[in-house]
Structure formats: structure tokens, C-alpha cells
Amino acid sequence: MSIEKFIRNQEMIIDQLKLLRKEMNILKCDLKNKNENNSVEIIDFNSEFIDIKKKEILKSLKYHDVYYDCKILKKYYLRNKDNMPIMVINSRLYKYRYNNKWVMDYGGANIKNILCNNIRNIYCKYNTIKNYNDVNIFILNQEHIGKISKPKYKNQLFKEFINEVLKNEK
């Protein structure tokens, strides 16, 4: 008797799970349609994987320059002028969107770290020996990636990026 009850309960649970799965798929479709109709994409400014084509990343990496590093960041974070994840309040006060909330950053220390971590991580992902015929290019790229963590470079990248933000705010 208990085995039959157990089997009936198991079948009820399976039926409920199937219903939940159907409802979930309907909600996903509704959300997908809603997102397609609403073209405003909200970008959080946090440590994440920057989704840009490998070809563009490798092209920027070969120049070993702040300008090209900033170009990658600009392409990802500043692609929508109406919905930028960073605001410049004044020369020492910034706001950035994190988990759909605006966070104040005095002096830009958090922004500097996030920018440098993101560009370093994306470069590390694509800078592999198999992408190059010459090992020396790989080594030069690794040296550049190491330089990104240094305070002087962080400040340069930050200034370049904030200038791009200011251009887009106008």
C-alpha cells in the first residue's frame, strides 16, 4: 500500500514539474519578446567578461597602448549613449551602475580596478601561444598584460576612459 502511495505522489510531483517547466518556457518567451521590443540594454559596470569579438581583442592587444585598451572598453561599456553605466559628477566624483543601483566612487578607485581587471581578463583569455606563430609576440603581449595592473597604467587608462565618457555625455 505504501509503495502505491509513493508512486502516486511521485507521478503527481512529475506532473507538477512538467507544468512548471511549461510555465517557465512561456515566461522566457514573453521576456525574450519584451527584450526584443525594448532595445534599451542596461549595462552594469562590474567585473565581468567583456563580450567583444576575438579578432578585435587581438587587434587591440598587438598595439600595447592605452588608447587601444580604452577602445575595447569604450566599445563594450559606451555603446549606448542614452544608457551609460558611468556618470561623471565632477573631476573627483563618479557614479557607476552596479546591480541596477548607482554607486558613488570618490576618486574613481573602484572604476579604475574594474576597468583594468576587465581588460586584463579579456586579454588573458585570448593571448594564447596557439594564436601566434612567433613566441616573442606572445611574450610582449604578456608583458603588456602585466603592465595593466600597475598604478601608473591604471591612472592613464582611467583618464582616457573618463574622457570618452565625457565626450559621450555631451
Q: Does residue 132 sit within a domain?
A: yes
Q: Is the pLDDT of residue 121 over 80?
A: yes
Better-predicted residue by pLDDT, 81 or 41: 81
Sheet with 86-90: strands ordered across: 86-90, 93-98, 101-106
Specify whether 128 is located in the same domain as 152. Answer: yes
Q: Does residue 31 sit within a domain?
A: yes
Specify whether 34 is located in the same domain as 58. Answer: no
Which set of grid coordinates corresponds to residue 52? 567583444
Q: How confident is the model at residue 58 (pLDDT cuts 50, 70, 90)?
A: very high
Q: Which residues are CB-neighbours of 104 under 8 A, at least 6 positions away?
A: 93, 94, 95
Q: Is the pLDDT of residue 156 over 60?
A: yes
Q: Does residue 95 sit within a domain?
A: no
Q: Is the pLDDT of residue 81 over 60?
A: yes
Can you give the residue range of the structural domain that contains 124? 54-82+108-169
> 70, 157 in Cβ contact below 8 A?
yes
**Predicted local confidence at residue 8, as pLDDT:** 76
Q: Does residue 45 sit within a domain?
A: no
Place of cell 519584451: 34
Place of cell 598587438: 62
Q: How confident is the model at residue 140 (pLDDT cuts 50, 70, 90)?
A: very high
> 69, 58 in Cβ contact below 8 A?
no
Lowest mean pLDDT: which of 19-23, 98-102, 118-122? 19-23
Across 53-69, average pLDDT: 93
Number of domains in the chain: 2
Q: Is the pLDDT of residue 36 over 80?
A: no
DSSP 95: E
Closest Cα partner for 73 from 106, 98, 109, 47?
Answer: 47
Q: Does residue 32 sit within a domain?
A: yes
